[in-house]
Amino acid sequence: MNTPIISFRDFTFQYRAQARPTLYNIDLDIYPGEKILIAGPSGSGKSTLASCINGLIPFSYPGESSGILTVDGMEAKKESIFALSKSVGTVLQDPDGQFIGLTVAEDIAFALENDCVPQKEMHAAVDKAAALVGVERHLGFAPHELSGGQKQRVSLAGVMVDAVKILLFDEPLANLDPAAGKQTIELIDRIQKETDTTVLIIEHRLEDVLWRSVDRIVLMEEGRIAADLRPDELLCTPLLTKAGIREPLYLTALKYAGVALTPEKRPAHPDTLDLTDADKEAVRAWYHGAPAPAPPPQQPVLLEVKDLCFGYTKDRSTLQNVSFTVRKGEMTSIVGRNGAGKSTLSKLICGFEAPDSGSILLDGRDITGDTIRQRAARIGYVMQNPNQMISKTMIFDEVALGLAKSGLSAAQVREKVEETLKICGLYPFRNWPVSALSFGQKKRVTIASVLVLGPDVIILDEPTAGQDFRHYTEIMEFLRGLNGRGVTVLMITHDMHLMLEYTPRALVFSDGRLIADRTAAGVLCDPELIERAALKETSLFTLAGRCGIEPPEAFVQRFIDYDREVREHGC
């Protein structure tokens, strides 16, 4: 058998600032040319494991280790981070954090310049790496001119140019639209096959990574390896669900239908899944087994956008003739590729930008001329990163900040803040510093600081970005609870699971235009619309087709309704 290119032997690591180890007794061998998915909930040790492999531990993040870790024949703790970087190339979650050059070509060439490679050889190596990842036409571009997917490719080229043996991807899909994420997985798969590079992928979005096959899934839990199995084997166990990792939706649907899953059925991908006639009949019987729920009563229109046009420059239009209405109490997704105009729309609604033409009505009144402060009393906006919104040290003070000039007495402010903190599940922490909270709790603080103003509408930009399934569910169930209290919720998201599970309706944008206003299930069962808007069809659509169920969107909706019932009532 081959010698492992990465080998952990009874390896334990504890950060200097922590009381307990983050990794315990790790035994793991990874062989040359393998593609491994490292999965696990937040805090399970995935990123720490990766940082040990690429040398960030102990060189950037000091601590104590025991046991042995070898990387490409080197004992990691005895080598410099520079020596390890010659074997391990890391592509970060946020490509912007890796850019150094003023142009794409300069950025790719950075490692070669450090090695004093002659110009002629450098140009040839840069051209080869750029062609490998498909950015050869963008060598003269500045990195900020690229899309999210293109930035990811440039980051990859920047590590490939050094002919590394191991590629380490830290949540490569987190900031990409669904189509770009799909293309990234395809690109990683192609490069791994063409170069025989060893690939490690750390990612929460299991189903998206499994769009292309991986050799093994290493499941981390509480600093230990809970499983190290082939995907077909692991997906037939309850280990993923117990660890708080969302299994592929089509597998959950099969289980609801009573279909027994075995490794022989090759369940790792809906296209390779070996379904018997009896299995297909079980799925059809489950689909027809319950009537569709009655639609909720229609509420009055709350927000109305009419013929909205906007451009950041006179010669370039960002939004063109956008019109839609949102009813009171709705929960709606806004989706589309990066740069489609989603965030610009939210800025116009909140008053951060003024439209070139068109109008925005709230409860039938045109608010186009209202100030940001006037709108903030009824329309709340929550940014993707809570750290960009928080300005106070203490939680209570942060939530109370918006009421500073409201004219309320100190007692009234306290009452209002405490009531909001209770709704948001933050009351026990009211006297804590914000810095002591987790990312998900900070997200709740920012929502509380908006909610305390009593808005009719809350707009959230990527509410679950970078969250594992447990934290994702906590945030979304919390938002669903607010929605149940009558707050209208609009969410900008790249997460198709979120759109499908929580928002009955989706507004789909492409190139500054609203191209669809349909049910979420209908959007994700329309291949033409999916391609136009850079979305990704749900695996439930594929399963419906495999089982001969028409229309597929009715099957998808049946799953969403049933899954909601199971999670709420455990039936």
CB-based contacts of 453, cutoff 8 Å, min separation 6: 376, 377, 380, 402, 403
Average pLDDT, integer, range 201-229 = 93
User: pLDDT at residue 29 above 90?
Assistant: yes
Question: What per-residue confidence (pLDDT) applies to 271?
Answer: 87
d(CA 92, CA 172): 7
Question: What per-residue confidence (pLDDT) applies to 32?
Answer: 95
Beta-bridge mates of residue 7: 29, 70
Q: 330-344, 436-450, 454-468: which has the highest mean pLDDT?
A: 330-344
Average pLDDT, integer, range 113-137 = 84
Question: What per-residue confidence (pLDDT) applies to 60?
Answer: 87
Q: Is the peptide bond before 551 cis (omega within 30 degrees of 0)?
A: yes
Q: What is the pTM of this model?
A: 0.83
d(CA 398, CA 393): 7
The mean predicted confidence, pLDDT, of the chain is 89
Question: What per-residue confidence (pLDDT) applies to 176?
Answer: 74
Question: What per-residue confidence (pLDDT) applies to 317?
Answer: 86
Higher pLDDT, 76 or 314: 76
Helix count and strand count (H, E) for the chain: 23, 20
β-bridge pairing 216-221 and 35-39: parallel
User: pLDDT at residue 570 above 70?
Assistant: no
Least confident of 292-301, 325-334, 559-568: 292-301
Q: Could you tell me how many residues make up the chain?
A: 571
User: pLDDT at residue 157 above 70?
Assistant: yes
Average pLDDT, integer, range 541-551 = 94
Tokens read off for 158: 């920047």
d(CA 516, CA 493): 15
d(CA 168, CA 160): 11
d(CA 362, CA 325): 10
Average pLDDT, integer, range 444-472 = 85
Dihedral sign (CA 532, 535, 541, 546):
positive
User: pLDDT at residue 536 above 90?
Assistant: no
Residue 394 is classified by DSSP as: B
Question: What per-residue confidence (pLDDT) applies to 470?
Answer: 77
Using 50, 70 and 90 to split pLDDT, how confident is the model at 130? confident
H-helix segments, 102-223:
104-114, 119-133, 148-160, 178-195, 206-209
d(CA 184, CA 191): 11
Tokens read off for 76: 């990691």
Using 50, 70 and 90 to split pLDDT, how confident is the model at 33? very high
User: pLDDT at residue 366 above 70?
Assistant: yes
Question: What per-residue confidence (pLDDT) applies to 94?
Answer: 66
Least confident of 62-66, 224-228, 325-329, 373-377: 373-377
Average pLDDT, integer, range 218-241 = 95
Cα 175–425–477 angle (5° rounding)? 50
- Rg of the chain over Cα atoms, rounded to whole angstroms, equals 25
β-bridge pairing 379-382 and 457-461: parallel
Tokens read off for 230: 């082939």
Average pLDDT, integer, range 86-105 = 81
Average pLDDT, integer, range 190-215 = 91
The per-residue pLDDT for range 52-84, each reduced to its tens digit, is 999 999 888 899 999 999 999 999 988 888 889
Question: What per-residue confidence (pLDDT) applies to 466?
Answer: 66
Question: What per-residue confidence (pLDDT) applies to 161?
Answer: 79
Question: What per-residue confidence (pLDDT) applies to 53?
Answer: 95
The per-residue pLDDT for range 397-426, each reduced to its tens digit, is 999 998 988 889 999 999 999 999 988 888
